[in-house]
Amino acid sequence: MAARPGLSQPNAAPERVTAPYAGFKGPYDVAIAPDATFALVANRRGNNVGRIDLAGGGTVTLPYAGFTKPAGVAISPDATFALVANFNGNVGRID
């Protein structure tokens, strides 16, 4: 069967981890900004959302109160806000 463009080959060498990001406890979901400058991490066991600067590699914990166990994160198309789904049934917004 011919390979389709953009898909990994089963026998291809695994990608190498080039930038491990420390400080997360139970990261559950990752969303990358449309311009690929940053990523948000739903840090379930840490009960917070982290922001990773993809160019510089720094991480920051974002203010995120009133919700527990973030399990999913999505960034708006213009990157002005993010929605975070929690295991407790709530959805929060980060501006």
Mean pLDDT of 30-40: 95
The pLDDT tens digits of the residues spanning 36-48 come to 999 999 988 888 8
Query: How many other β-carbons are positioned within 10 Å of the β-carbon of residue 21?
Result: 16
pLDDT over 80 (residue 61):
yes
Q: What is the pTM of this model?
A: 0.76
CB contact set of 46 (below 8 Å; sequence gap of 6+): 24, 25, 26, 61
